[in-house]
A and B are shown apart, each in its own frame.
Chain A
Amino acid sequence: MRNVVLLTVDTLRKDALGCYGNEKPCSPFIDSIQNHSVRFSSALSAGPYTQAGFPGILTSSYYLDYGYSKDKKFNPNRVLISEPLHDRGIMTAGFHSNAYLCAYFGWNRSWDTFYDSMDTDVTDKVPYVEASVMNRKAATWLSAQKGRSKPFFLWVHYMDVHEPYIPERRYVDMIDASIGLGEDEMFGLFKNVLLKRDTTHKDTVELLRKLYLAKVRKIDDSIREFFGILQEAGVLDETIVIITSDHGDEFGEHGGLSHDGKMYSELVNVPLILFDPTLSGERVCEKVVSTVDVPPTIVRLFGLDPVSRFQGRSLFPIENYSVTGVYGESIEKRGERERGDEKPIYFYRRGDLKIIHHEENDSWELYDLRTDPRELNNIINSSPAAEELKKNLIPRVGRWRR
């Protein structure tokens, strides 16, 4: 039986990667493995920020499925991917540095090894443990697996793309050598522009976008390093690697920065790549799929029975994956500060149509992504499909209260 690795990159926009159409050279390594990969061109996250997106990737459920609690604790009824795997004798390990996914909130269940970095000091400028350290930890763990007959599931999550955007000089130079900012100035942009969601100056927003891309370029190197570690451990040939993200990032597309409670493409479109060393040739799947499909896919790759509480469906065999549309939801927070009285926001996408519902004022948006990929022209009142699409979303609205 083969091993499965889930590599997740926090805040990675789909269109930041070359294989998804970015012309800037941000992802040479990820692009280079496409000839052994299946790439999902329309994968959507179950939510636009970590707390809303990760229940999809690791529990195949939606943020509001088990009610909404302000303390953000992991509802014990959610099934974490580590649980069915651990139960069937697969070694499970998770390494990450996102405080929203730490043991305090309950994300440490059933992992044989779980590192959430909360015991490690971090700084204001790099408020997480970096990918190089995650890679070292994963390497140590992998070397301890040598000689074991059990297959493993390894989850590694990188925070390095997340704000504050303070990339190293050499990565800035790869994107735009004319940027002359020092670390303190970049940190100043974080505090004075990004945290304030200030998009008044187009040039500054563009500058932030470039700094972000420089961080993407760096994470591509980290992923290259990680594949080297798999190779060195002698498991690359027998390991499937899934690469995805919990959400994207906004650079003024809809009047904001960072990732708040919005359902537009820059936040909910994510890369989803499945690297299988036995494949040859680039394969692209254009079906609209969701990150809630990741856990059932992993269970399937290990040849285990489906888990009844998982809401997604296995992406393989892909010809059996019927397109029924995908959902996402979150709390409609605006800005760095959650006021505490925000209401949920939901989306449903089928084909090129995406409908969004704001519980706050009971309003709707509908976009045709084929003719309006930037989601600027709300056709809720003119589209003949509107009523039927609404019907798909209405049963989900308000269920967090029940």
Chain B
Amino acid sequence: MAQAKKPKCVYIFQFDEVRYDHLSVYGYHRNQPNIDKLVKDGAAAFKQTIAGSSYTGAATPVLWTGMIGPHTGVRDPFHMIQPTLVQEYIKMLGWATQGCMSQSVAGSGIGMNFGFDNFVEPTDPKAPDTWGDGVEHWRHLGVQVDDRFHAKPVGKYYVKENIDFIKANKKGNFYLYNQYYETHTGSEEYLVRSGRLKKGVMAENSYYDAKIALADSEVIGSVIETLKEVGLYEDALILITGDHGTNLRRDCWPMGDYIYEPLDVGELDNTHSSLYDVDLRIPLIIKYPGMPDQAKGKVIDGQVRSIDFVPTILDILDFPKDKIKDPFDGVSLVPSLENLRGHGKRAYAETVWAAYGMGARQALREENWKYIRYASRMYEEFFDLKKDPLEQNNLIDRLKMHAPRWLQEMREQVNDAYRELDYGVKRREMPEAEKKAVAERLRRLGYTTE
């Protein structure tokens, strides 16, 4: 849908491991003044935004291609993103693009750099490693670790790169993307040691809220300030989100005395590896010129999905539809901003990299219910989210008894998605067409390949 006033630039901020319910915009008791300021200035927030995966390397491509995991091609650290990324579309408009990636599992190794004029990522082997024993952690998952894989530049996020880029493009026409690792478990050690976080202040849950506050003040705050300085703040599309949530355990659930026990608490399953809501619900805060007045400053409680982001961004930019190469799995959220409701469409999430946590698992979610299948252990769950938002009471037996057809339909949907895993990555139209063009060029040079 065309907007009367189009944004002149786009800024995306992607938290790592930040749950929606730890942001003050959703009612949390600790404030993030800069994000709150955005809402006060007319941003809207979606409360039930469902991630495509609980693993960063798989969830990030979902966010920026508008495709579910089986279609992004990335379900583990060893594959490249297949469909067109949002920054590649924006590049077609002739805009400048910069990506700042602080997490190498979602970096150039999987192709997140495609479409960025400038892409900075922690490939420097000397970058401090937040895991401490991070190398061992990944080795434990069967990963051959090299410098590119585990490097994360904690304590030196690309604030200067952000500011320089905005100032160099102060007339607008740019896309700036930040993936911010320093809210992830493990970053705190370095941040406290280096004095960037005060020892003992907001220290619970491994300084979780302190780390979020740092991101808000240092990165989001400095970008907003710079946008104001160059006069683009009112003309910017600003989108703040996260890759996935996390499980903070008994004493960490802020909105009640909730005890979360994952299916099987193994050593590696204690943070985000499940498909429960704690791991899947992410923040989505969006502000742009031309936002429907009724949405300004509102928190919209209706399910939307991370696959909807790219269609939404391109819709707001009035990107020519005939140039969109892949049919998105998601839809634009502009109508939801107009009628202040979710779109009622089903969400699909998966974390099928078997080494990561509990084996292959897939979930379907609508506003009132969730179905989870654990393919690696022949186990299914079904929850009534209205009555049981904490996903404690598995109703799968009742579903088998009373609604076998519904169950059958859901099984088929996850089967389809799983099958694409079995048969390898399903290549989308865009690479096919491009592949044809390349093959044709090579044929003419005398290299017949088919």
Interface residues of A (CB under 8 A from B): 73, 76-77, 86, 99-100, 102, 104-106, 109-110, 112, 118, 122-124, 127-128, 159, 162-164, 190, 194-195, 258, 336-338
Contacts and interface: CB of A to CB of B under 8 A. Distances in A.
B449 A337 contact: yes
Given A336-B446, A336-B448, A109 B438 contact: no
A337 B445 contact: no
B446 A99 contact: no
Given A73-B80, A76-B109, A128 B438 contact: no
In the A-B complex, the 9 residue pairs with the smallest Cβ-Cβ separation, listed nearest first, are A127-B444, A99-B441, A99-B438, A104-B434, A337-B448, A336-B448, A76-B108, A76-B109, A99-B442
26 contacts: A73-B80, A76-B108, A76-B110, A77-B148, A99-B438, A102-B438, A104-B431, A109-B113, A110-B119, A112-B117, A118-B437, A118-B438, A118-B441, A122-B441, A122-B444, A124-B444, A128-B441, A159-B445, A190-B446, A195-B448, A336-B446, A336-B447, A336-B448, A337-B449, A338-B447, A338-B449
Nearest to B443: A127
Given A76-B108, A76-B111, A104 B438 contact: yes
Nearest to B107: A76
B108 A109 contact: yes
A248 to B, nearest CB: 15
B347 to A, nearest CB: 30
A338 B110 CA distance: 28
B435 interface: yes
B428 to A, nearest CB: 13
A212 B342 CA distance: 65
Interface in B411-450: 431, 434-435, 437-438, 441-442, 444-449
A330 B272 CA distance: 44
Q: Is the interface of A mostly helix, strand, loop or mixed?
A: loop
A219 B280 CA distance: 59
Interface in B238-253: none
Given A76-B111, A109-B108, A99 B117 contact: no
Contacts of B434: 104, 118
B78 to A, nearest CB: 11
Contacts of B148: 77
Contacts of A164: 446
A366 B228 CA distance: 70
Interface of B: 80, 108-111, 113, 117-119, 146, 148, 431, 434-435, 437-438, 441-442, 444-449
Contact of A128 (B431, B435, B445): B445
Given A76-B108, A76-B111, A123-B444, 15 more contacts: A76-B80, A86-B118, A99-B438, A99-B445, A104-B431, A109-B108, A112-B117, A118-B434, A122-B441, A159-B445, A163-B445, A195-B446, A336-B446, A336-B448, A337-B449
Contacts of A163: 445-446
Contact of A258 (B111, B442, B446): B446
Contacts of B110: 76
Nearest to B120: A87
A100 B438 CA distance: 8
A327 B442 CA distance: 27
A77 B434 CA distance: 23
Contacts of A190: 446
Given A99-B438, A109-B108, A127 B449 contact: no
A109 B115 CA distance: 9
B332 to A, nearest CB: 28
A391 B449 CA distance: 34
Contacts of B449: 337-338
B322 to A, nearest CB: 16
B23 to A, nearest CB: 34
A338 B154 CA distance: 47
B181 to A, nearest CB: 19
A94 to B, nearest CB: 14
B445 A162 contact: yes
Nearest to A340: B449
Contacts of B447: 336, 338
Nearest to A77: B148
Nearest to B449: A338
A38 to B, nearest CB: 32
A127 B445 CA distance: 6
Contacts of A123: 444
Contacts of A86: 118
A113 to B, nearest CB: 10
A77 B144 CA distance: 13
A104 B445 contact: no
Contacts of A162: 445
A70 B449 CA distance: 11
Contacts of B118: 86
A32 B244 CA distance: 63
Contacts of B117: 112
A261 B449 CA distance: 15
Contacts of B431: 104
A257 B446 CA distance: 11
A336 B443 CA distance: 9
Contacts of A100: 442
Contacts of B442: 99-100
B343 to A, nearest CB: 34
Nearest to B435: A104
Nearest to B441: A99
Nearest to A194: B446
A73 B109 CA distance: 12
A76 B148 CA distance: 10
Nearest to A190: B446
B387 to A, nearest CB: 47
B174 to A, nearest CB: 15
Which of B108, B435, B441, B442 has its CB near the most chain A CB atoms (within 10 A)?
A: B441
Contacts of B435: 104
B103 to A, nearest CB: 15
A7 B437 CA distance: 26
Contacts of A105: 438
B391 to A, nearest CB: 37
Nearest to A333: B447
A79 B134 CA distance: 24
A77 B123 CA distance: 10
Contacts of A128: 441, 445
A286 to B, nearest CB: 34
